[in-house]
Amino acid sequence: MSDPALPELVDSHCHLDFPDFDGQQADLIARANAAGVRRMVTICTRMHKEPAVRALAEAHEGVFYAAGIHPMYAAEEPPISVEELVLLARHPKFVGIGETGLDYHYTAESAAVQAESLRVHIEAARRTGLPLIIHSRDADEDMARILTEEHRVGAFSCVMHCYTSGPQLARTAIDLGFYLSMSGIAAFPRSTEIREIFATVPRDRILVETDAPYLAPPPYRGKRNEPAYVVHTARIGAEALGMSPAEFAALTTANFDRLFSKAAA
């Protein structure tokens, strides 16, 4: 049971199907609710796992889901078509396309396959009207180029999840009308540059997330992350923006409802 006095927060990106959480999802969701985190989007990163992720969303009222092929798996997973993603999007709790994107940190050798997959996901976002969920690591120039090229073809909505890239890609994303999402990395003491980037972003373009089970914010850094811990990232985000935690919670929840309108309360 959640405390109605707590400001509502949304964890806009987590992975409840990952093995770290096996058999514990109901307890995780209960702890999140008790902390004021009443909704969350669980993200499918490999399409053969989509039925299990969908089942989690179906089983829990405040859980929604998105699906796509993570760029690190783009070369090993069977490619998905635009039509397949559009068909999945008919589900009432399917609220976003992805995560997709570019990751040159570990998988630069598959850059061409990643770009092809990204463009498929973009077209699906364009056709469905659902937001694209982007993962970008060590690929700022190519990411900015592809997003700009594709936006000229036809508009689509998008969130740059777990934003840790530089100020130029942030400016490109904002100029295209996109959103940036703050993860636990932004709460690390040495993440001054990331917090400074968020402080310059229009406030109506900021989301907050955990990326659980990864990237736990202090005081849980180095431990398994979970949706309830988005409260700690939100507290640091509020400080970076000169807001109260309640104001930051209201802001990011309103932003989430605008972008992920299918999951709006």
pLDDT one-digit tens code per residue, 151-191: 999 999 999 999 999 999 999 999 999 999 999 999 999 99
61 pLDDT tier (thresholds 50, 70, 90) = very high
* 161 assigned binding-site residue: yes
pLDDT at 1 over 60: no
* 123 assigned binding-site residue: no
The per-residue pLDDT for 4 is 59
Tokens of 45: 């990163």
Q: What is the pLDDT of residues 201-232, one digit of tens each?
A: 999 999 999 999 999 999 999 999 999 999 99
* 232 assigned binding-site residue: no
Residue 20 contacts by C-beta under 8 Å, 6 or more apart in sequence?
213, 224
Q: What is the DSSP string of 26-75?
A: HHHHHHHHHTTEEEEEEEE-SGGGHHHHHHHHHHSTTEEEEE---GGGTT
* 91 assigned binding-site residue: no
**Which CATH superfamily does the domain covering 9-263 fall into?**
Metal-dependent hydrolases (3.20.20.140)
- Percent of residues, the chain, with pLDDT higher than 90: 97
The per-residue pLDDT for 6 is 78
150/6 Cα distance (integer angstroms): 40
**Closest C-alpha to 21, from 231, 186, 184, 228:** 228
Give the CA radius of gyration of the chain: 17
pLDDT at 2 over 90: no
The per-residue pLDDT for 265 is 60
> Rounded mean pLDDT of the chain?
96
* 105 assigned binding-site residue: no
* 211 assigned binding-site residue: yes
Hey, what amino acid is at 167? P
